[in-house]
Protein backbone atom coordinates (compact mmCIF):
# COMPACT_ATOMS: atom_id res chain seq x y z
CA UNK A 1 0.00 0.00 0.00
CA UNK A 2 1.33 3.42 -1.02
CA UNK A 3 -0.06 6.68 0.35
CA UNK A 4 0.77 10.24 -0.66
CA UNK A 5 -0.62 13.47 0.69
CA UNK A 6 -1.08 16.02 -2.03
CA UNK A 7 -0.41 19.71 -1.75
CA UNK A 8 -3.68 21.64 -1.46
CA UNK A 9 -5.21 22.05 -4.91
CA UNK A 10 -2.89 19.43 -6.49
CA UNK A 11 -4.75 16.16 -5.90
CA UNK A 12 -6.11 16.07 -9.47
CA UNK A 13 -2.58 16.52 -10.82
CA UNK A 14 -1.16 13.80 -8.58
CA UNK A 15 -3.97 11.39 -9.46
CA UNK A 16 -3.47 12.04 -13.19
CA UNK A 17 0.29 11.48 -12.92
CA UNK A 18 -0.07 8.19 -11.04
CA UNK A 19 -2.89 7.03 -13.35
CA UNK A 20 -0.68 7.74 -16.37
CA UNK A 21 2.07 5.57 -14.87
CA UNK A 22 -0.33 2.73 -13.97
CA UNK A 23 -0.16 0.88 -17.34
CA UNK A 24 3.62 0.48 -17.01
CA UNK A 25 3.13 -0.84 -13.48
CA UNK A 26 0.43 -3.23 -14.65
CA UNK A 27 2.80 -4.60 -17.32
CA UNK A 28 5.46 -5.43 -14.72
CA UNK A 29 6.19 -9.12 -14.25
CA UNK A 30 4.44 -10.35 -11.13
CA UNK A 31 1.88 -7.54 -10.88
CA UNK A 32 -1.43 -9.17 -9.94
CA UNK A 33 -3.70 -6.12 -9.79
CA UNK A 34 -4.50 -3.10 -7.74
CA UNK A 35 -6.65 -0.07 -7.13
CA UNK A 36 -6.13 3.66 -6.84
CA UNK A 37 -8.18 5.69 -4.35
CA UNK A 38 -8.43 9.39 -3.59
CA UNK A 39 -9.58 11.32 -0.54
CA UNK A 40 -10.92 14.70 -1.61
CA UNK A 41 -10.35 16.60 1.60
CA UNK A 42 -9.79 20.35 1.72
CA UNK A 43 -7.29 19.93 4.55
CA UNK A 44 -5.79 16.48 3.88
CA UNK A 45 -6.06 15.44 0.21
CA UNK A 46 -4.57 11.98 -0.29
CA UNK A 47 -4.00 9.33 -2.90
CA UNK A 48 -3.71 5.64 -1.96
CA UNK A 49 -2.59 2.81 -4.22
CA UNK A 50 -3.15 -0.77 -3.15
CA UNK A 51 -1.29 -3.24 -5.30
CA UNK A 52 -1.12 -7.02 -5.30
CA UNK A 53 1.88 -9.05 -6.42
CA UNK A 54 2.47 -12.70 -7.32
CA UNK A 55 4.96 -12.94 -4.46
CA UNK A 56 7.43 -10.91 -2.44
CA UNK A 57 10.23 -11.61 -4.94
CA UNK A 58 8.23 -10.03 -7.77
CA UNK A 59 7.56 -6.93 -5.71
CA UNK A 60 11.22 -6.66 -4.69
CA UNK A 61 12.31 -7.01 -8.33
CA UNK A 62 9.90 -4.28 -9.42
CA UNK A 63 10.49 -1.81 -6.59
CA UNK A 64 14.21 -2.25 -6.04
CA UNK A 65 16.41 -3.01 -3.05
CA UNK A 66 14.72 -0.50 -0.72
CA UNK A 67 11.24 -1.83 -1.49
CA UNK A 68 10.28 -2.34 2.16
CA UNK A 69 10.76 1.31 3.14
CA UNK A 70 11.27 3.44 0.05
CA UNK A 71 8.26 4.30 -2.10
CA UNK A 72 8.59 4.06 -5.86
CA UNK A 73 7.84 7.44 -7.46
CA UNK A 74 7.51 8.82 -10.96
CA UNK A 75 9.17 11.92 -12.39
CA UNK A 76 7.51 15.14 -11.30
CA UNK A 77 5.61 13.53 -8.45
CA UNK A 78 7.60 15.06 -5.56
CA UNK A 79 6.48 18.59 -6.43
CA UNK A 80 2.86 17.51 -5.85
CA UNK A 81 3.41 16.03 -2.38
CA UNK A 82 2.64 17.82 0.87
CA UNK A 83 5.08 15.35 2.49
CA UNK A 84 6.97 12.32 1.21
CA UNK A 85 4.82 9.27 0.46
CA UNK A 86 4.75 6.18 2.68
CA UNK A 87 4.58 2.47 1.93
CA UNK A 88 3.23 -0.45 3.94
CA UNK A 89 3.36 -4.12 3.10
CA UNK A 90 0.78 -6.71 4.11
CA UNK A 91 0.29 -10.39 3.46
CA UNK A 92 -3.13 -12.03 3.21
CA UNK A 93 -4.68 -13.63 6.28
CA UNK A 94 -6.72 -16.76 5.53
CA UNK A 95 -10.33 -16.34 6.66
CA UNK A 96 -11.25 -20.03 6.64
pTM: 0.90
The CATH number linked to 12 is: 3.30.70.100
Residue 95: inside a domain, yes or no?
A: no
Residue 71 lies in a domain: yes
Q: What is the CA radius of gyration of the chain?
A: 14
**47 strand-pairing partners:** 4, 38
Asked if 20 and 26 touch (Cβ cutoff 8 Å), the reply is no
Q: What is the pLDDT of residue 42?
A: 87
Report yes or no on 45 lying in a domain. yes
In the chain (96 residues long), the average pLDDT of successive 10-residue segments reads 96 96 96 97 94 95 93 92 95 92
Q: Which domain holds residue 32?
A: 2-87
Domain assignment present for 73: yes
Query: What's the burial of 81, exposed, middle or buried (CB within 10 Å: 0-12/13-18/19+)?
Result: middle
Residue-level pLDDT at 81: 96
Q: How far apart are CA 55 and CA 52, in angstroms?
A: 9
Phi, psi of 27, rounded to the nearest 5 degrees: -85, -5
Identify whether 42 is part of a domain: yes
Tell me if 60 is assigned to some domain.
yes
- Side-chain-side CA neighbours of 7 within 13 Å: the count stands at 7
Residue 93 is assigned to a structural domain of this protein:
no
Amino acid sequence: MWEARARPGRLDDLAALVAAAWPALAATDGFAGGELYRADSATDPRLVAITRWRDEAALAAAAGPGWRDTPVTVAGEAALHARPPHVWHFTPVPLD
